[in-house]
Every structure is written in C-alpha cells, then in structure tokens.
Amino acid sequence: MVPKDIRERYDKLKAAVNKYRTLRHVYDKEEISIEAEDTLKAELAGIEKDYPELITPDSPSQRVAGRPLPQFKKVRHKVAQWSFNDAFSIVDIQEYDTRVKRMLGFEPNATVVYTCELKIDGLKVVLEYEKGFLKTAATRGDGIVGEDVTHNIRTIESVPLRLARPVDAIVEGEVWMSEQALKQVNAGRKKNDEPLFQNPRNAAAGSIRQLDPKVAAARGLDTFIYDVAQSQELLPATQFEELEYLRGLGFKVNPHCELAGSVEEIIEYWEKWKTKSKSQGYWIDGVVVKVNERRLQERLGYTGKAPRFAVAFKFPAEQVTTVVEDIALQVGRTGVLTPVAHLRPVLVAGSTVSRATLHNEDEIKRLDVRVGDTVILQKAGDVIPDIVRVLTELRPKSAKAYKWPTRVAECGGDGSLERVPGQAAWRCVYKNSFAQQRRVLRHFASKGALHIEGLGPSTVDALMEKGLVQHFDDFFTLNEGDVLTLEGFAELSAKKLIESIASKKKTLLSRLLNGLSINHVGEETAILLAHNFKTIDDVAHASEDDLAAIEGIGPIVAKSIFDWFREAVNRELVGRLKKHLTIQSEKISRRVLAEKMPLAGKTFVLTGSLESMSRDEAKEKLRQLGANVANSVSKNTYAVVAGEEAGTKLDKARELGVQVLTEREFLKLIA
C-alpha cells in the first residue's frame, strides 16, 4: 500500500512536471528554470523507485519530452530519438560506471573508456541527407514524430547543404544561440515592444519554430552535430572517431571532447568544465558521458526512453526545488528579526543548503510562502540561498499562511517587537537580549572585524554563559585562568587564545568600526569612514552632514552612525576600548587620492571566484589604488570584476551597461 500523503505528492509532482515540460518543449515558454524542473523530476523518480507500482505509461519518467506543434508539417523519425538519463553528483556518476560494468559482465576494476562531450543547452535537431544533399530537418518532438523545420535550418551557416561525400545519412545535433546574439535579438524585440527571450535556449527554439525563414536567418543561430543515427557508410568503431567522421563530412563539431579511461577522469573533465562553462559564449549545462566503443554501446542498448551507454552529467544547479519544513525568527546583531526558512536539505550550486532567509514580513507576504510549500531555491555564484518562487500547485491542504508574532522570547524582557520606522523590518524593543549580544560579540571577534583567531562562535558563547564576557572590552581583560574554566580548554590552548587576543590590541580603525555593530555599517562602510577620519573620536564628533558628504554613505547610514555615537552607553564603551587598543589611522588625504591614486573615486564590485587571489586580497589591492569596493551593482559602478561562476551581479552589470572585467583584464588594471 502506498501511503496517502506519498500518493498525493506523487500525483501533484507528475502534473507539475508534465505542465512545465510541455511549456518548455512544445511552446518554448519557461515558467521555471530547467534546473528547478530537474529537481522535481528527480523527486518524482525517487518516489517511483520506492513505490514502482505508481509508475504508469504517462509518467514523465517514461517518455521523451516534447510534442509536435499543429502548425508544422509532421516528420516521422526513421530512427527513434532518445533523451539521456541524468547524473547530478559524483556519487551518481560512480554508480553509473558501476552499473555499466555490471551489465557488460566486467569486473569492478576493469577499464571502460568513455567519450566526454559538452552538453549544449539548445534545441535538438535531426538532419537527413540523401546522396549528400540536405533533405529534411526535424525537431525531436516526442521521439517518434517531430516538426519539419527544414526551411529554417537551411538558413544556418554551419549546417552543410551538401556533404563532402554523396552519402545517405541521418545525424543529430543541437541548434544554439550565443549570448551575444541573444542580446541583439532582445534589443530588437524591446524596440518593437515584443516580449524578451529569457535565455539562449528559448531563443534558439523560438527561432527554429518560425514560419518565416527570414526571421531565423537574422538571428545568428549555430549548431554542433554530435551523433550519426544512420549512414550507408561503415561507421567508425568508437564515439570519439565518430566525431571526427562528422567533421570529415563537413559538420561543425564541438572541439572540447576528451577520452576518459576511468570514472576519476570523467569527474576531472566535469570539474574543469563546471568552472569554464560560462566562458564559451554558448550555454553548457553539463557533460555527456558515452561508452566509447560502439560494440559495447550495442550490447548495453536502450531503456524505454534513454540509452544505457550514455548519461548526462549535469553541473550543480543554481536553482532547485525543495520543501519548507519550518519558518523561524532569528535575532540579529542590531535586534532586527529575520525570518528564516528551514528547508528539506538540498544540493544547490555545489553545496547542501538547509536554510534560506525570507528577509522580512513583507517578503513572506509577497511570496505567500507557507510551511509545507514546495519552493524554488536559488544560489547563483556568490549569492546566498534565496527563495524566488512558491509552486502553489504542489501546496498541501494543511498549509497555513504564516502569522507574524507580536512577541519573541529571544528578544528578552517581555519579548515585545516594534516596526523599524520607514522599513519593512521588525526589531526587539529590549536591546540587550542574550541572543542579540551573542551575535554582536561573535561579530566583534570575526574575520571581517578584529579577526581574533581561536575566538570562534562556540567559545564566545561559552564565555558569555560563564559570565566572563558581556561587552567588547571584556575580551581584553581575560586571563588564562578564566579560559581554563571552559570545557575543552587545557593550559596550552588557553595560553594560545590569550596570546591571540593580545595580538589584536593593535588594530585598524576600519576593523574596529566594523566590529562595533553600528546599524548599516559593514566592512565597506567602515573602510570609507577610516579613509575620511583619522581617529575614532573624529568619527564620533562628526555631524550628520559631514558623514553624508562622504561618497558611498547616504543620509540613512549617516544618521545611524551619528545616533550611535550620541548614546552615552556607546561613548562609554568606546572609551573603555581605547584603554586596551592601539587604533591605527588609515586616513587618506584628498590630495593624495586625487593626485596619486590611479583608481580614486572609482567603485568596483567583485563577483565569482578568482584563480590568482582571494576576494579579500582583490579588495585590498583595489583600495590601495584608491578605489571603493561595493557589494551591489548600480549605475554609479565603474566596473564589475567577474571571476569563475559569477552570480547575478554580472547580470545586473550587463543590464545597466556597466563594464565587466575578466580576471586577466583586472590583473592588467591593478598592475
């Protein structure tokens, strides 16, 4: 018997996957990303694995995506068209290799050679040649019947109208559009008030399905051909040689294929292209792994929808689906409450995520997110996990709208809350709750602030619970005996911690300002203040107008800094810290900025990872040259430095027309 909740979930998943696949493959519309759709399919397949009695012929797992559109002439494929099964992790590809060897009757340590090819994210086409001349071109459709798109395929320069030899052949490949071509197409559509294409894959599919070939001809389409479905000539003995055979006939073949003699080499190829994929100008969403020898391919054969001798090894998804298991409130350093979604753990962009911020009450209402909901989770490049959409068709009947509380115990006192004036945020009325102080003290010792090694979150918590630390300056009055009272500390480790704390008694003004947990003052703002004021007393005595006059500090931030230093308890705290600390000045005179700093006044944003240095090192080099470093892209940004796996900041830069520097261009600039 299948449990009722499992059956209900399965039925909803099946309906949702069928809906999104039909929109994508039949109507070229993308309501959710293909990665999010993949995770729905994976969950569905997992249920079918546990409860095979649920599988029916109309399950999305049992058929090839797509259906011919009625306005196109239909083409019945002479060779059935297949889609690949997917592997999403290193464990998946290891299991695939084990399965291949088992089905071939090989020993586990036997060698199977594979061909690794890039998986181009475009539209699959099937080309038929008769005596060397292009006869028909069709989409994959449902695998049995496709759409006749010969009139449009003939407009693509990389498709030979006549082969190098007069052979009868059927070949398969991918039609794709470059990101540059997509920009040009969307610019024209925007000018004509037409809806923009969401990505190159949709644009390529929409272009091939035009009734007027002049439209397709104007869109800069291209192809990569990767397989011979049928030929009157004797085919090569291996997949790798088959790619050369296709080149010899005159087809454009992707040049980045490699042989792999082990599963470790497959993973190495996948890891390399996971990093390099965004530098090619065309979309790549994974690699295709095929058993290299044709005779072994024939022995392995096919399942109902996919070849057993090949698998699509997908890159880590930047968008996935998961389920919200709870919504909890977290008290921040400034007393502001942040709602956090507790999620069913899911792998996204290479790491397992079980938490995602919901930002504030208004965001919860906008998304209408509820406990039990299936959501799309996004983590692009260096962006923290974010819920971007609720799939309401998968919502369980028991899900209830989230009700914002009036009191929160972690706030301390009577737990009462207040709305921050002019903002969507709520905060604790009582300002000194244990939860809030814990975060404040953890931050003071963290890498971006005083950077006290050995003074991690658990040690800070233990010191607070013992009553040894209540304020920032208490760290500098600790001795070895105090630390020895903490569980897990011995004489040597206690001595090391005290020495580590002592080494930070000489610190930069910017680090101290960042560590004070002044509302709206993070690392970048703290550096701006340190470049404009010589001492912390100068910052404390500055007027709101003085602060707001600094480029990069607006009136809201200026008021927050001004108000913080007006509170007596904060002035007393700074006075006590000055007794323990030597605070180094970082002020840069305007004359030096203007005359000697080549990047003075220019604002940079970094996204993605750099090979030659860490993000912090890159920021420091920019600041040494007088530049400002910001966390978000605006029209005032001078340039965005885009490393590997750049996130949404790169998209924002392109949208605003901000120049984008590659790592090589960045290194040349700072040299």
Structural contact between residues 607 and 642, judged by C-beta atoms closer than 8 angstroms: yes
228 pairs with which residues across the strands?
Answer: 171
CATH code: domain of residue 621: 3.40.50.10190
**Helix 200-208 vs helix 179-191: angle between axes, to the nearest 10 degrees?**
70
Token code pair at residue 169: 């052949």
Count of other CB atoms within 10 angstroms of residue 662: 13
Whether the Cβ atoms of residue 153 and residue 208 lie closer than 8 Å to each other: yes
Shared domain check, 15 and 39: yes
With 0-12 / 13-18 / 19 or more C-beta atoms within 10 angstroms meaning exposed / middle / buried, residue 566 is exposed
- Predicted confidence at residue 229, as pLDDT, reads 94
427-456 as b/e: b if 16+ CB within 10 A: bbeeeebebbbbbbbbbbbbeebbebeebe
628 and 521: one domain? no
Is 279 inside a domain boundary?
yes
Q: What is the CATH number of the domain that holds 41?
A: 1.10.287.610
Four-point Cα dihedral 258, 262, 263, 268, nearest 10? -50
Query: DSSP state, 305?
Result: S
| CATH code, 337 | 2.40.50.140
CA 262 to chain centre: 29
Q: Where would I find the H helices in 320-377?
A: 361-367
Q: Backbone phi, then psi, for 253, in 5-degree steps?
A: -120, 135
Tell me, what's the pLDDT at 28? 64
Taking CB atoms within 8 Å and a gap of at least 24, the contacts of 42-48 are 42/86, 42/88, 43/13, 43/321, 44/10, 44/13, 44/14, 44/17, 47/6, 47/9, 47/10, 47/13, 48/10
Cβ atoms of 165 and 249 within 8 Å: the answer is yes
* Whether 476 and 374 share a structural domain: no
**Annotated catalytic residue within 14, 119, 274, 504:** 119
In a domain, 66, yes or no: no
- 630 and 558 in a common domain: no
Same domain, 519 and 556: yes
pLDDT number for residue 3: 92
What is the Cα 297 distance to its own chain's centre? 35
Give the β-pairing of 628-630 and 603-607.
Answer: parallel
Tell me the three-class secondary structure of 151-219, residue by residue: HHHCCCCCCCCECCCCCCEEEEEEEEECHHHHHHHHHHHHHCCCCCCCCHHHHHHHHHCCCCHHHHHCC
Residue 520 lies in a domain: yes
pTM of the model: 0.56
Q: Is position 589 within any domain?
A: no
Answer yes or no: do 536 and 393 share one domain: no
Chain-centroid distance of CA 513 in Å reads: 31
At residue 238, the 3 state secondary structure works out as strand
- Angle formed at CA 69 by CA 218 and CA 67, multiple of 5 degrees: 115
Q: What's residue 383's pLDDT?
A: 59
Name the 3-class secondary structure at 584: strand
Last residue in a domain, options 419, 452, 487: 419
For residue range 6-48, what is the model confidence (pLDDT) as tens digits?
Answer: 999 999 999 998 888 777 765 667 888 888 888 998 899 899 9
Of the candidates 584, 617, 645, which is a domain's last residue?
A: 584
* Distance between CA atoms of residues 140 and 77, nearest Å: 8
Strands (E), 462-611: 506-508, 582-584, 603-607
For residue 109, the domain's CATH number is 3.30.470.30
Residue 563, domain member (yes or no): yes
d(CA 341, CA 323): 9
**Segment (H or E) for 265:** helix 263-276
**Pair 146, 269 in one domain:** yes
Listed residue (171, 206, 271, 272) closest to 28, CA to CA: 206
SS3 content of the chain, % helix, strand, coil (to 5): 40, 20, 40
- The whole-number pLDDT of residue 624 equals 77
Dihedral sign for Cα 615, 472, 464, 343, please. negative
Tell me the residue type at 458: S
**Residue 427 three-state SS:** strand
Question: Residue 165 in contact with residue 116, Cβ under 8 Å?
Answer: no
Residue type, 562: F
Is 11 inside any structural domain?
A: yes
Strands 639-642 and 628-630, bridge-based pairing: unpaired
Residues 292 and 347 in one domain: no
The answer to whether residues 517 and 334 touch, using CB atoms and an 8 Å cutoff, is yes
DSSP character at residue 660? E
Looking at the structure of the chain, the number of domains it has is 5
293 belongs to a structural domain: yes
579-597 as b/e: b if 16+ CB within 10 A: eebebeebebeeeeeeeeb
Sign of the CA dihedral running 637, 642, 647, 650: positive
How far apart (Å, rounded) are the C-alpha atoms in residues 231 and 481? 83
Indicate the residue type of 655. Answer: E
635 is catalytic: no
My answer on whether 630 and 655 are in the same domain is yes
What is the domain-level CATH number for residue 524? Answer: 1.10.150.20
Whether 452 is in a domain gets the answer yes
pLDDT of residue 27: 67
CA separation for the pair 37, 31 (Å, rounded): 10
Question: What range defines the domain where residue 393 resides?
Answer: 319-419
Same domain, 51 and 143: no
Are 305 and 348 in the same domain? no
Burial label for 279, CB within 10 Å (0-12, 13-18, 19+), is exposed
Same-domain status, 449 and 522: yes
pLDDT tens track for 97-123: 999 999 999 998 999 999 999 999 889
Q: Look-up: residue for tokens 């949702």?
A: 16
Q: Which residues of the chain have pLDDT under 70?
A: 25-28, 57-58, 62-71, 350-351, 380-384, 589-596
The single-letter DSSP state of residue 397 is T
